[in-house]
Chain A
Amino acid sequence: AQSVTQLGSHVSVSEGALVLLRCNYSSSVPPYLFWYVQYPNQGLQLLLKYTSAATLVKGINGFEAEFKKSETSFHLTKPSAHMSDAAEYFCAVIFSGGYNKLIFGAGTRLAVHP
């Protein structure tokens, strides 16, 4: 069955430390992959997307993600966390043939402490 999994519902890092949020998908055909960020009481903002072009994708706010087909992963990273990065992060996919269907992972809440 096609699915998307985010490992770790909560991640806590120190300001200035590396941020790594994990996302894996289950599908025989690589999907289109997205990372969204949600601040409290706000909608979803697109951070970056993978659409079968470059496997290393750079997004807004210094985030990037690398698509690894062999590992069926699309992990989100940022070299140096900032206090303003504290938010909920959702990995989402559109599977092949699922034209309008965006499937979300459960989300990872990122906390950044001084």
Chain B
Amino acid sequence: DAMVIQNPRYQVTQFGKPVTLSCSQTLNHNVMYWYQQKSSQAPKLLFHYYDKDFNNEADTPDNFQSRRPNTSFCFLDIRSPGLGDAAMYLCATSSDEGTTSYNEQFFGPGTRLTVL
């Protein structure tokens, strides 16, 4: 089955220690998104890639970076995690190759990040 895969599902890091979260997809979608979801809150968009074009949300901290080396993979880098960065991180994909004027997003299972 075509899907969005996130690894690892659970990640523990230390305060200030860089961490990378991974997302891959077999859907061949050209748009990939990263969301942060804190406990009991709605997902919040951090940024997205439209093909190779990076689109950052205005309120995303500089501490968060992303890389997309190819269509299938996208990485979220947190340069210096703070306690406030503990959250579920969700990756999603969509395709704009259809005729609709909206993009339905398909979500991965998420990576829960703990910062000690």
Contacts and interface: CB of A to CB of B under 8 A. Distances in A.
Contact of B43 (A44, A45, A94): A44
A99 B90 contact: no
Contacts of A99: 96, 101-103
A43 B103 contact: no
B98 to A, nearest CB: 11
Q: Which one of A45, A94, A100 has the greatest number of beta carbons of chain B within 10 Å?
A: A100
B104 A100 contact: no
Interface residues of B, number: 30
B41 interface: yes
A43 B45 CA distance: 14
Interface of B: 4, 6, 9, 31, 33, 40-43, 45, 48, 50, 55, 88, 90, 92, 94, 96, 100-110, 112
B45 A42 contact: no
B109 A42 contact: yes
A44 B90 CA distance: 9
A43 B102 contact: no
A102 B33 CA distance: 10
A51 B100 contact: yes
A102 B109 contact: no
Interface stretch (A14-22, A59-67, A104-112): A104-112
A43 B104 contact: no
Contacts of B94: 100
11 contacts: A41-B112, A43-B4, A43-B6, A43-B110, A51-B102, A94-B103, A100-B50, A100-B55, A101-B45, A102-B45, A104-B43
B96 A43 contact: no
